[in-house]
Amino acid sequence: MAMTDIERIKTLVGVAVDEQTEARLQIYIDNAKKAICVFIGKDVTDFPDELSYIVDAITLAKYNKFHNEGINSISEAGLSMTFNANDLQPYYNDLQAWLDRNTGLGNSGIVVGWE
């Protein structure tokens, strides 16, 4: 039996989450799916399951960035964290590969840019 998005994220977070945190995680999941769908030209109700790993990664990035929004990096007591301004950017190549495989754009001479 496949896990739901929120079940996967709660497992990846690795700690018990309260109701408020679960609601926040669900918003992060929904926003990640919407961002991906904008790039691939799909409706969010038709979200491709094979891109769920990107949803997971973006959701975890947002979760880890909570209370540090707008900050590029943070250092404290020997711990240093750097945040991407665009959490989707590391996955542009993966999204392009998905588009090439699923839309035929890779063979048609059409170029999709991600800058």
pLDDT of residue 63: 87
Q: Which residue, among 52, 48, 67, 57, has the nearest Cα to 88 in the 3D structure?
A: 57
Q: Residue 60 — φ and ψ, nearest 5°?
A: -65, -35
pLDDT of residue 56: 95
The pLDDT mean for the chain works out to: 82
pLDDT of residue 17: 87
This prediction's pTM? 0.75
* DSSP-based three-state secondary structure for 75: strand
**Structure-block tokens of residue 45:** 């109700």
What's the distance, CA 86 to chain centroid? Answer: 10
What's the pLDDT tens digit per position in 69-96? 655 666 777 776 666 667 888 899 999 9
